[in-house]
Amino acid sequence: MPGFFRMRASTPRSRFRALLAGSQCVYPASVHDPLSARLAEDIGYEVGMLGGSTAALAVLGSPDLVLLTLTEFAEQATRICRATRMPVLADADHGYGNALNVRRAVEELERAGLAGITLEDTELPSPYGPSEATRLHSIEEGAGKLRAAVDARSDPDFMLLGRTSAPSVTGLDDTLRRVEAYARTGVDAIFLVGVKTIEALAAVSAACDLPLVLAGATPSATRETLAQYRVRICLQGHHPIQAAIKGMHDVLRALRDGVPPAELTGLASADLVRRTTREADYRAWGRAFLGRDDHD
């Protein structure tokens, strides 16, 4: 039995739960595919973040318009989680529909191997009409979807985060009402988009005792200061996939313009590729199970 508990304590989900229960604030790595997750793990990130926008870019090459289906998102999450032992938190948008769709989303994304998901109260996809302003579900609907998520969860270490964009859409008073309502549903943390001041963060922190996650225009403060208000994760954006897009564009453009491959710059070294693809593991498996170094 002691060995069982040690093994369980080392799982990505239990490590993520411990992170949220701890006293530190960390910056997550924005990941979008197995290679980016491997790189983040090797660098030493405590947690990866799979955003809905980055998944749309990686899978569809589309902007963040909620065109990606739950099945496609779960498949990408599975590929990422298969490639890393680092806990991965995913943005499950609005749960792909109403509260019943949320139940299905929890079942599929828990099975994918994620450490947790966020579920937001934004009306998605954008409804018909000329206005592009972000609109939120009612508090009752938002809370109902979170209760459905909690009810659908089968692994208690799979973390559920109630997310609201109220700080940047409807203001602090509505934010506090939503935070208090969502905290009562049984979710494990509250995810806030657009908290701009320490004063607003302090008010939210006083409104519930759950761990907090921040994204958007966050307060200009150190991680130590954020941690004092129970912020355990503070997102920094999705710069890695932007860098990947630019890197591929620049190399393809250079080759198209006649630059010889030997003169290209900014490429991954052969050693970095070998380490990221775990080449040594595959060579060892080839020797153990095929009787040879099975590598081209």
Distance of CA 34 to the CA centre of its chain: 13
Report the chain's mean pLDDT, rounded to a whole number. Answer: 94
Distance of CA 74 to the CA centre of its chain: 12
Q: Give the confidence band of 62 by pLDDT, cuts at 50, 70, 90.
A: very high
Instruction: Mean pLDDT check: name the lowest of 2-11, 149-158, 207-216, 227-236.
Output: 2-11
Whether 232 is covered by a domain: the verdict is yes
Domain count, the chain: 2
Structure pTM?
Answer: 0.93
Domain that residue 277 falls in: 270-296
Whether 10 is covered by a domain: the verdict is no
Please tell me whether residues 145 and 292 are part of one structural domain. Answer: no
Burial degree of 241 (CB within 10 A; 0-12, 13-18, 19+): buried
Whether 66 is covered by a domain: the verdict is yes
pLDDT for res 7: 42
Alpha-carbon dihedral sign for residues 289, 291, 292, 296: negative
pLDDT for res 295: 58
Please tell me whether residues 171 and 235 are part of one structural domain. Answer: yes
Q: Give the confidence band of 10 by pLDDT, cuts at 50, 70, 90.
A: confident
Please tell me whether residues 146 and 291 are part of one structural domain. Answer: no
pLDDT for res 129: 82
Whether residue 54 has pLDDT greater than 70: yes
Please tell me whether residues 290 and 196 are part of one structural domain. Answer: no
Whether 30 is covered by a domain: the verdict is yes
Burial degree of 122 (CB within 10 A; 0-12, 13-18, 19+): buried
Please tell me whether residues 143 and 107 are part of one structural domain. Answer: yes
Contact 219, 197 (CB under 8 A): yes
Contact 123, 135 (CB under 8 A): yes
pLDDT for res 294: 60
Q: What is the number of other CB atoms lying within 10 angstroms of the CB of residue 82?
A: 11
Peptide bond into 125 cis (omega under 30): yes
Instruction: Give pLDDT tens digits for 201-241.
Output: 999 999 999 999 999 878 889 999 999 999 999 999 999 99
Mean pLDDT of 71-94: 98
Contact 119, 92 (CB under 8 A): yes
pLDDT for res 133: 84
Whether 83 is covered by a domain: the verdict is yes
Whether residue 126 has pLDDT greater than 60: yes
Whether residue 38 has pLDDT greater than 70: yes
Give the DSSP H/E element, type plus range, for residue 159: strand 159-164
User: Which of these, 63, 114, 119, 67, lies nearest to 94 by C-alpha position?
Assistant: 119
Whether residue 193 has pLDDT greater than 70: yes
Contact 58, 44 (CB under 8 A): no
Please tell me whether residues 202 and 283 are part of one structural domain. Answer: no
Please tell me whether residues 158 and 277 are part of one structural domain. Answer: no
Q: Rounded CA gap, 258 and 252, in Å?
A: 10
Whether residue 14 has pLDDT greater than 90: yes
- Length of the chain, in residues: 296
CATH code where residue 180 lies: 3.20.20.60
Q: Give the confidence band of 132 by pLDDT, cuts at 50, 70, 90.
A: confident
Whether 254 is covered by a domain: the verdict is no
Contact 187, 151 (CB under 8 A): no
Please tell me whether residues 238 and 294 are part of one structural domain. Answer: no
pLDDT for res 64: 94
Please tell me whether residues 169 and 289 are part of one structural domain. Answer: no
Query: From residue 78, how far is each of 12, 86, 199, 296 by CA, in Å?
Result: 14, 13, 39, 27
Query: From residue 125, how far is each of 21, 61, 99, 134 by CA, in Å?
Result: 33, 18, 15, 10
Mean pLDDT of 238-263: 98
Whether residue 5 has pLDDT greater than 70: no
Please tell me whether residues 208 and 285 are part of one structural domain. Answer: no
Q: Rounded CA gap, 200 and 74, in Å?
A: 34
pLDDT for res 296: 52
Whether 6 is covered by a domain: the verdict is no
Q: Rounded CA gap, 114 and 91, in Å?
A: 11
Whether 2 is covered by a domain: the verdict is no
Please tell me whether residues 187 and 285 are part of one structural domain. Answer: no
